[in-house]
Every structure is written in structure tokens, then in C-alpha cells.
């Protein structure tokens, strides 16, 4: 693996360190406080019912994927990878 400054890292430990460093820079560091989140709402606000929670974690069915692809325009790219809907329809 070649890192930004052109240095090659080869050992598992070095690679793990570089991967961890990359994602720490990408995602930032942890914080003790989230000022944009109101703790009152988190503690006493509306919550999803157990049924709603279960629905959100259900596996996606093939029929749902097929329908989503069918209604999307071929040249639209649903993700940041640049692959358009036509690619997924042909896959």
C-alpha cells in the first residue's frame, strides 16, 4: 500500500494504522456533546413503535429492488460511485 507521501507500507500493522488514520481524518473525531441534538426530545420525544422499528430492519426484497430500478430513469446515478441505473438493470 502506498500512502500520500509516497511511502510504501507492507506489514499488517502498518496497513491497519494507515486505514484507521484515513477514516479518522475522513469521519473526524468523537465529541462529548452534540449541541444540535436536544436531549429533551431524545428522552421524551416521539419514538417509533416496535412494529415500525422491525419494518426498518427487514431485509430488502428482490421485488422492491426491481420496482425501484423500473421507476428510475436509466441515466440517473443513485450513488456517489457514478454507476447509473442502466448499469444496475443490466447487472
Distance from C-alpha of 9 to C-alpha of 3, rounded to nearest angstrom: 7
Q: What confidence tens digit (pLDDT) does each residue in 42-84 have?
A: 788 788 899 999 999 999 999 999 999 999 999 988 888 889 9
Q: What confidence tens digit (pLDDT) does each residue in 7-51 have?
A: 888 888 888 888 888 888 888 777 777 677 777 877 887 888 999
Give residue limits of the domains in the chain: 1-29, 47-91
Q: Cβ–Cβ contacts within 10 Å for residue 63, how many?
A: 8
pTM: 0.41
| Helix (H), strand (E), coil (C) string for 23-45 | HHHHHCCCCCCCCCCCHHHHHHC
Amino acid at each position: 500500500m502506498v500512502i500520500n507521501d509516497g511511502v510504501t507500507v507492507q506489514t499488517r500493522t502498518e496497513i491497519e494504522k494507515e486505514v484507521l488514520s484515513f477514516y479518522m481524518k475522513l469521519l473526524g473525531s468523537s465529541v462529548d456533546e452534540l449541541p444540535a441534538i436536544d436531549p429533551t426530545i431524545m428522552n421524551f420525544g416521539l419514538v417509533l413503535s416496535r412494529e415500525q422499528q422491525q419494518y426498518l430492519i427487514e431485509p430488502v426484497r428482490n421485488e422492491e429492488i426491481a420496482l425501484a430500478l423500473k421507476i428510475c430513469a436509466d441515466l440517473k446515478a443513485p450513488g456517489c460511485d457514478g454507476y447509473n441505473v442502466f448499469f444496475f438493470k443490466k447487472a
